[in-house]
Structure 1
Amino acid sequence: MTRGPTISDPDLEPDPTRPAARADHPHGERVQPHWRRLVGDRALVGVGALALLAALAFLAVDAAHNQGRFVPPLDDVYIHLQYARQIGLGEFLRYQAGAPRTTGASSLLYVLLLGAASVVLPAGLLLYAAVAFGVVCFVVTVVLVALLGRELGSRNVGTVAGVLTALCGPLLWGATSGMEVALVALLVAALLLAFVREQPVGHFVVTPVVAVPLVITRPEGLVLVVAVLAGAVVTLVRRRRRPPIGVLNCSVGKNALLLVLPLLVALAQFGLYRLLTGSAENTGVEAKSILSLPLGSPLEVVDRVTTTARTALELVGGVTTTLVVGPGVVVLAAIGLAAVASRRPAVAGVLVLGLAGVLFAVSTLQTALWHDGRYLQPFLPVVVLLSVLGVRAIGRAAADRRTGRVLTTGLVAVLAAFAVVSTPTWALRQGEQAAGIRESAVSVAQWLKGNTPPDAIVAVNDVGATAYFSDRRIVDLVGLVTPGFARAALDGPGAMYEQLAHLPPAQRPTYFSIFEDNGLVSVGELPKARILGDEPLTSFQLKSPVRDDAPFGGICQTAGGCPLISVWRADWSHVGSGDLPDDPVPGRIVDRVNVGDPSDEAAHGYGVDRALVGIVPKSEIRNQDVAGRVVVDSGRHVVGGEHFTLRGLTPGRPVTLTARVDAREPVEDRNTGAGVVAVGVDGRGVGDWAFATEVPGLPAGAEHSWAQSSFTIPASAVTAPEITVSLGPRQPFLAPYPDYRSFSYWVAQ
């Protein structure tokens, strides 16, 4: 009895999806078109149908959790829809009419496609068009994975890889979310398939053509494209040393020029961003990148990135969870890579370089594991395929064919079992998360539309649904779609307050719609700036079930991190209240250092001299009642010291330096000298300064935010119109260190 082929066997019959050679038709019979062979291939039709059914099941679960309507499982979907709607209205890269151009959408190609759809579709159908497009892309991706599996393994390898991809829970989550995940996955699979087919003959035409849309779809796509182009260049260089093959005797130089096209398109995108927005950097990357954080030490950055990469590898590789692909997938994928390397070293090199590059690029983001690993989802089909190739290699290494067949069948059954069990969990996760978004972002947006005037300006820390549904002007506190806020948000609530205060009065928010903390920006501290009303106008207490955020980081509104969203009326009456000292100072004020305001700090060369690496001096915001009026000021927590340059001085005259500082002892009833600093001017010590800790007129121990005190810089130290002042420990290097919060310094002569 003959046995059917398994994934451990070589192909036992020609692949009907490959073009037929002329020799196969000696009588001149017409070759069946390639697309007809694909449609007639039962295995490909089967995996495509399975993918479609799985995607439709996800949509059904989502609708079941939302009273029969589909709702995206994350607010970011509405960011793409809003940009797309504006593109349809002729407002390219403008999030709202009249707003400056921004790059808050992470996928340029995706919003362009949706923008084209918005021209012909009613506004209410744009979301459904995005979801339908995602489903189609997902089905095509599964078919392409099956074809890629045939190229690198066998027909059965392709079929098994296609089935497991069709049942990949996190990929289904992303493909049906309304985001660009499925489009990226399709282009990734198509690019690798094109390269694998064209690399043996050393002639690359389809490869660069597919690479062009991928480079403008996601930043991670550009990383993979660079790896593929590197593999193509290596192939061309090697082929120059050998005679070309028959009909493909073409100029290597011309082919190399074609390979440059994707890189030129990527540069054109950066140039377009720079021309229209003033920055080539995507604002999403700027707002979320670990490289944007004020960590201070390159090793700290390396540690954060490598830790994130290790965690991602453990999750995707099945080390700490089996909900992504399956158990021990990282080992199977490594074996699969080794098997590919034994026959196709160039392909293996591209896969290693590309996947490692993508992992590193994603790991530079603070949000790398948010949204259920959305940035990694498009590359999961490659991991699945490599795992199947690893299973095939294990089977082939067995002592005999029967043992190999048992091994491969058992391992495939294990992977399939985990996929079948975990996929419904991902569908449930999406449905519950969608209900949380409906209850939070969408509901708040609808309330704003019905309860605020049409000219209202609303500050938010989740910008998608509010702009899409409320038709109100938006100030994005995270900085994705409002220029200037990305770095301020990362710097802390003090810098965010100062950025808001710097807005022209007519552009300041009239309302705030915020939840306390989303793990990225600390908007929960904004009430200390006294820019919110005494009581919220309304609050939304989320009641949808809290879904666990395993295995990846969840979404704040759906994972229980921010169950309360409130809408406040803005109050700008206290802006500028901290510009002057609380008490009079001798002489005329000639300069002020506003600590916590990044622009003023830059103007004064301000910096915190940290006593310990790892302590991040993020900005803060405080307020204090002073003689019956509210004073608001930003500041920083200083552990060690600080330095700044004073300007506008008259040389040869003493300077009175007045500080607004909270120098109370960090530990109650202790005397660590935390509020005493050594003062230096242009590198020369001029004495010690003990900051005041009590406010005159207040009982000792009464709660307050800061106290005011002064220090006189002698005339002999004022040798120029500008001097650099340093405040630091009296005993350098050794603890205890100065530990205080500085808010403002005034210079009087």
Structure 2
Amino acid sequence: MNAIPRSDLIGPGVCIAVTLAVFAIVYALAGGAVFPSDDAFINLHNANVLRLGHDDNYAGVPALVGATSGVHLTLLMAFEQIIHPDTLALFVLGAVTGVVYVLGVFGVCINAGCSRRDATLIALASLVLAGTLFQLLNGMDTGLAMAAVAWTIKLVTDKRRSLWLPILCGIMPFIRPELSFLAAGAMLILLSARDRALGFKLTAAALSIASAAPFLVWYWIDTGSFIPNTVGAKMYFFAERHADLSTKALFVSGALAQAVVASFPLFLCFRFARLRALELMLALFAIVFVASFFWRLPGGLAHNGGRYLYVFAPIVLFGVAGALASNHRKQALRIVAISALFVPLGFGAQFNIYKTHILGYRQSLADVVSWMNANLPERPMVMVHDAGYVAYAGHTALVDLVGLKTPAATAIHAALTYPSVGRQRPEAVASIAAKFDAKYLLAIEDWNQRFGLAEGLREQGWAVEEVYAGRAPADTPKVDIYRLFRLTPPDASRTADQAHLIETQRSR
């Protein structure tokens, strides 16, 4: 085997060193392993459930219920075996994922015909484009999905096809379900290649099935489904599928407009691309991806800082690399130069989201959970919509009103909220509260206002009394404050009111 020339290692080495340095700097500035999203703590909680073998908060619920990415959860469990505490393990997993992503982009650029210098610069720029860095820092599966897309493009464009591609295609649906479309396209390209022998294709197909099989079995055992249930739960709660077309178009166009601004004008480099099978596959993947959200969950494209759209970042950079390596290099360089005016917009927007969440509502949530631990020793049932941190750090029994961690809630939304396009959401939430005998509701003010959680319960006859508001820095917007409400069901509420009236009359 020929040794790799030392000069060929410089680019990847720089990519690894810079990426790890960036994560180390963020770790130091943030004061440790912190995460801006509650979903990161769903991952940590699920890992705890796997380790303990049972869930103390969501009684009887397996770990994979509410887990979108079985691959990410598996990696987190592996990292937790050697890195402590678990929050640091999750942060290190994010750093390693960042390295894998950047190296994938580097490989994509080399395969596109870029010089090693250009490939290194583009790979490092991948951390900056549209604020990608903050998606790698969110403690979720976003970075892993981006890395999977980058390496899919790299492996498909390799001159010598390897069996790593079918293995990756097999596990991609369990990194993010939407990547199933990309995996299918990549396997189609591989299996239709004329320069590959039949034996290679049969082996590739077998490896793809074999890599998927453990996750298929795991999900079936834990959830009764071969695929993650999280999008389905969100679809029923947000109830946007049956919204009118103009509303759905507004949701999707708004999210896409932000993505276009954040990546403008780099995506224009694709006009220099040759219409080969890969470009066609990536275009079809983008169309099917957006169409699936338009059909089921159009507002979801804007969730968590638009994180679902970040799987397109390596595709945009693939177009840039191809343009720079083509006869249109001068035009591509002009586009890259112009992008310097727009890249700060996307980066700045993601930085502000990250900073606001770290310093604002995250502190409010942590404070409420701390208060609950100290003041609710009887472990009452608490109804939540952010199902992660309160389960990870709290000690009370929980019911997830969205349904991610509580499948019975999903069924109620499927029967009421979903077909009514959200109009019967208050009845659904009240039904969930009654079914699980919820004593408290923990909600961020933003959700409380948007979905009328407390007011909707009051309309259904429940007594809803705020008992605590999480403390946060003074400049934290009110919509980012978590509030804890005491709940009294309709019959008990009427009984209490009658007793109060009788006592008042007696005192007179």
TM surpasses 0.5: yes
1:144 partnered with 2:74: no
Rounded to whole Å, the distance in 2 between the matches of 1:70 and 1:292 is: 31
In the other structure, the counterpart of 2:363 is 439
Report the counterpart of residue 38 of structure 2 in structure 1.
75
Identical columns (%)? 21
Contact 2:37 2:139 in 1 (8 A): no
Which residue of 306, 318, 324 maps to 1:385? 318
- The aligned residue for residue 31 of structure 1 is 2
* Contact 2:68 2:228 (8 Å CA) reproduced: yes
1:368 to 297, 301, 323: 301
Is this contact kept in 1: 2:440–2:484, CA < 8 A?
yes
Kindly tell me: are residues 256 and 392 of structure 1, through their superposed partners in 2, closer, same or farther at Cα, counting changes over 3 Å? same
The 1:140/1:277 distance shift into structure 2, 3 A limit, reads closer
Aligned-partner Cα distance in 2 for 1:563–1:389 = 43
1:316 aligns with 259
User: After the TM superposition, which residues 438-517 of structure 1 pair with which residues of structure 2 at under 5 Å, given as runs?
Assistant: 438-486=362-410, 488-489=412-413, 490=417, 491-503=424-436, 508-517=437-446
Task: State the Cα deviation string for residues 283-313 of structure 1 (Å, max 9, x = none).
Answer: 321232279727657xx3x655554443343
Deviates more, 1:152-161 or 1:477-486: 152-161
Report how far residue 51 of structure 1 moved: 3.0
CA pair 471-531 structure 1, distance change in 2 beyond 3 A: same
Q: CA RMSD in A?
A: 3.4
Q: Within 1, Cα distance between the matches of 2:184 and 2:325? A: 29
- CA separation in 1, counterparts of 2:2 and 2:149? 29
CA distance in 1, matches of 2:203, 2:451: 45
Is the aligned partner of 1:419 residue 2:343? yes
CA deviation profile, 1:192-216 (whole Å, cap 9, x unmatched): 211111xx56x55221012223221
Contact 2:402 2:409 in 1 (8 A): yes
Q: Which amino acid aligns with 1:356?
A: I
Deviation of the 1:349 alpha carbon? 2.0
| Cα gap change, 1:296 to 1:179, in 2 (>3 Å) | closer
Residue in structure 2 matched with residue 105 of structure 1 by the alignment = 67
Q: CA deviation at 1:119?
A: 4.6
Structure 1 window deviating more from structure 2 (284-293 vs 210-219): it is: 284-293
C-alpha contact (below 8 Å) 2:134/2:354 kept by paired residues: yes
Alignment of 1:575-586 (within 5 A): none
1:43 to 1, 7, 11: 11
Give the secondary structure class of the aligned counterpart of 1:484: helix
Distance apart, 1:82 and its partner CA? 0.3
Give 1:690's aligned residue: none
Deviations 1:717-744 (A, max 9, x none): xxxxxxxxxxxxxxxxxxxxxxxxxxxx
Supply the AA of the counterpart residue of 2:151.
A
Q: State whether residues 54 and 166 of structure 1, in contact with CA within 8 Å, keep that contact through their aligned partners in structure 2.
A: no
Shift in CA distance, 487/98, structure 1 to aligned 2, threshold 3 Å: closer
Return closer, same or farther for 1:496/1:262 CA change in 2, 3 Å cut-off: farther
2:462 to 523, 526, 531: 531
SS of alignment partner, residue 446 of structure 1? helix
1:354 aligned partner: 285
CA gap 1:118/1:86 in 2 versus in 1, 3 angstroms? farther
Q: Secondary structure at the match of 2:407?
A: coil
Match of 2:219 among 267, 273, 298: 273
**Aligned residue among 210, 225, 230 for 1:284:** 230
Shift of 1:487: 5.0
Q: By how many angstroms is 1:127 displaced?
A: 1.4
Q: Which amino acid aligns with 1:536?
A: E
Equivalent pair of 1:71/1:435 in contact (CA under 8 Å): no
Amino acid in structure 1 at the alignment position of 2:112:
L
Trace 1:287-298 onto structure 2 (pairs within 5 A): 287-289=233-235, 293=239, 296=242
Contact kept, 8 Å, 1:439 with 1:544, in 2: the verdict is no
1:85 alignment partner in structure 2: 48
2:159 aligned with 1:159, yes or no? no
How many residue pairs are counted as aligned between the two chains? 484
**Do the aligned partners of residues 452 and 185 (structure 1) sit closer, same or farther apart at CA in structure 2, a change above 3 Å counting?**
same
Cα distance in 2, alignment partners of residues 483 and 306 from structure 1: 29
| Greater fraction strand | 1
The structure-2 alpha-carbon separation of the partners of 1:275 and 1:186, relative to structure 1 and needing over 3 Å to count, comes to same
Q: Is the contact between residue 166 and residue 207 of structure 2 (CA under 8 Å) also seen in structure 1? A: yes
Equivalent residue, structure 2, for 1:195: 156
Bigger shift: residues 408-417 or 261-270: 261-270
Q: Name the stretch that deviates more: 132-141 or 514-523.
A: 514-523
Where structure 2 has 5 or more consecutive residues not aligned to the other structure, the ranges are 418-423, 503-508
Amino acid at match of 1:512: L
1:391, 1:411 within 8 Å by CA — same for their partners in 2? no
Greater helix share, structure number: 2
State which structure, 1 or 2, has the greater radius of gyration over its C-alpha atoms: 1
User: Is it true that 1:216 corresponds to 2:174 in the alignment?
Assistant: yes
Counterparts of 1:277 and 1:152, CA distance in 2:
41
1:90–1:37 Cα change, 3 Å: farther
Corresponding letter in the other structure for 2:466: P
Conserved? CA contact 2:105–2:150, under 8 Å: yes
Which sections of structure 1, spanning at least 5 residues, go unmatched? 1-29, 398-403, 547-559, 579-623, 630-749
Q: Which amino acid aligns with 1:76?
A: D
- Please list, as runs of the form range in 1=range in 2, the aligned pairs for 1:123-134 lying within 5 A after superposition: 125-134=85-94
Higher relative contact order (CA 8 A, sep 6+): 2
Distance 1:267 1:500, change over 3 A: farther
Give distance in 2, aligned partners of 1:210 and 1:280. 18
Alignment of 1:512-591 (within 5 A): 512-518=441-447, 521-524=451-454, 525-533=456-464, 535-540=465-470, 542-543=472-473, 545=475, 560=477, 562-572=479-489, 574=491
Q: Is the 8 A contact 1:161 1:388 kept in 2?
A: yes
Structure 1 window deviating more from structure 2 (363-372 vs 173-182): it is 363-372
Using the alignment, how far apart are the partners of 1:57 and 1:413 within structure 2? 27
Contact 2:368 2:468 in 1 (8 A): no
Q: How does 1:644-723 map to 2 (within 5 A)?
A: none
Tell me what 1:328 maps to: 265
Contact 2:58 2:405 in 1 (8 A): no
| Shift, 1:466, TM fit | 0.8
**In 2, distance between residues paired with 1:108 and 1:259?**
21
Task: Provide TM-score, normalisation by structure 1.
Answer: 0.58
**Residue type matched to 2:150 in 1?**
A
**1:259 deviation in Å?**
2.5
SS at match of 2:14: helix
- Inter-partner Cα distance in structure 2 for 1:161 and 1:392: 12
Alignment of 1:181 onto 2:115: no
| 2:91 partner letter | V
TM-superposed CA distance for 1:107, in Å, is 1.0
Residue identity matched to 2:382:
V
